[in-house]
């Protein structure tokens, strides 16, 4: 077993690889793919030219271990529900997704905060261990974000309300730009480079707990993640797993995952 995967696929037996076959078949049929090469092109992320004997070999568990590992990882990232329904031995319901593993293993508190920009000069940094900001944000109250004590790079912000879907938040140079350039040590987000002031943000409608995650890294990591997102559209679970894979595949370009939980409150409540 490696990590949250019940099988070390690079040391797997034919019997273990055989169990993967019906799950892969179900995903292939779900996607309406006419042959195994079309399925493998998705799972292995490159065109494939296997012979017709591949299906029979896979059914018997006689495929290369590396291919089995790649198929398993792809199904776990994109079609975990199918795997859990058909083979709990390989896809236990307690398994964390790649995105959940990233957040659990790399999520940091204490460097990313939310502030009223009119009070920036008077507000000191909260303690590093804080999980939820001390002061709630009132609806319609102005605020901006602050990232402190971090290297220069680029950043991408996503949010969710009360445990719902994740959505991208535009923190770039315009109201439609998702990526922001982050200077060393202290960044106010979003930032207007012309006025040299933070852009005012407000929440007008939704009270309650809001969770933010700021992905911080080199330009290629952040841009590759941005390419998978659409403004005002919920982020699919498979897309979050793709972003996790992008972050974890980088030797040095991923700087961190910064977490922030904020309560938005109605006036007088």
Per DSSP, the residues of 10-78 read GG--HHHHHHHHHHHHHHHHHTT-SSHHHHHHHHTTS-----THHHHHHHTT-S-HHHHHHHHHHHHHH
Residue 121 confidence (pLDDT) above 60: no
Going by pLDDT thresholds of 50, 70 and 90, the confidence category of residue 95 is low
DSSP run (H or E) holding 103: helix 98-106
Residue 44 confidence (pLDDT) above 50: yes
Report the percent of the chain where pLDDT is more than 70: 90
* Res 163: pLDDT: 66
Higher pLDDT, 39 or 236: 39
Question: For the residues 91-106, what does the mean pLDDT come to?
Answer: 81
CB 157 within 8 A of CB 114: no
16-35 pLDDT, tens per residue? 999 999 999 999 999 999 89
- Residues in the chain, total: 269
Angle, helix 237-249 to helix 98-106, in steps of 10 degrees: 50
* Res 119: pLDDT: 60
The CA dihedral of 104, 231, 144, 110, to the nearest 10 degrees, is: 10
3-17, 158-172, 191-205: which range is least confident on average? 3-17
pTM summary value = 0.64
Going by pLDDT thresholds of 50, 70 and 90, the confidence category of residue 71 is very high
CATH 2.70.50 fits 102-265, yes or no: yes
Q: Kindly report the average pLDDT of the chain as a whole number.
A: 86
* Res 269: pLDDT: 62
* Res 3: pLDDT: 43
* Res 15: pLDDT: 95
Report the percent of the chain where pLDDT is more than 90: 47
């Amino acid at each position: 077993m490696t990590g949250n995967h019940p099988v070390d696929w690079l040391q797997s037996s034919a019997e273990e690889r055989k169990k993967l076959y019906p799950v892969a078949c179900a995903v292939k049929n779900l996607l309406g793919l006419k042959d195994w090469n079309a399925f493998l092109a998705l799972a292995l992320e490159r065109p494939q030219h296997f012979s017709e004997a591949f299906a029979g070999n896979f059914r018997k568990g006689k495929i290369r271990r590396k291919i089995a590992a790649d198929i398993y990882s792809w199904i776990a990232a994109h079609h975990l529900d199918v795997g859990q329904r058909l083979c709990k031995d390989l896809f236990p319901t307690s398994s964390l997704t790649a995105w959940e593993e990233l957040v659990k293993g790399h999520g940091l508190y204490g460097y990313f905060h939310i502030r009223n920009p009119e009070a920036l000069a008077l507000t000191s940094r909260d303690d590093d261990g804080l999980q939820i900001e001390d002061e709630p944000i009132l609806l319609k109250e102005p605020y901006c974000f602050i990232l402190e004590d971090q290297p220069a790079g680029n950043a991408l912000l996503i949010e969710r309300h009360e445990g719902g879907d994740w959505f991208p938040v535009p923190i770039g140079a315009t109201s439609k730009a998702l990526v922001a350039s982050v200077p060393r040590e202290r960044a106010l987000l979003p930032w207007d480079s012309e006025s040299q002031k933070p852009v005012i943000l407000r929440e007008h409608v939704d009270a309650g707990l809001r969770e933010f995650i700021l992905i911080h890294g080199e330009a290629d990591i952040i841009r590759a993640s941005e390419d998978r997102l659409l403004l005002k559209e919920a982020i699919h679970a498979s897309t979050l797993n793709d972003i996790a894979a992008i972050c974890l595949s980088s030797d040095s370009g991923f700087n961190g995952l910064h977490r922030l939980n904020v309560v938005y409150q109605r006036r007088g409540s």
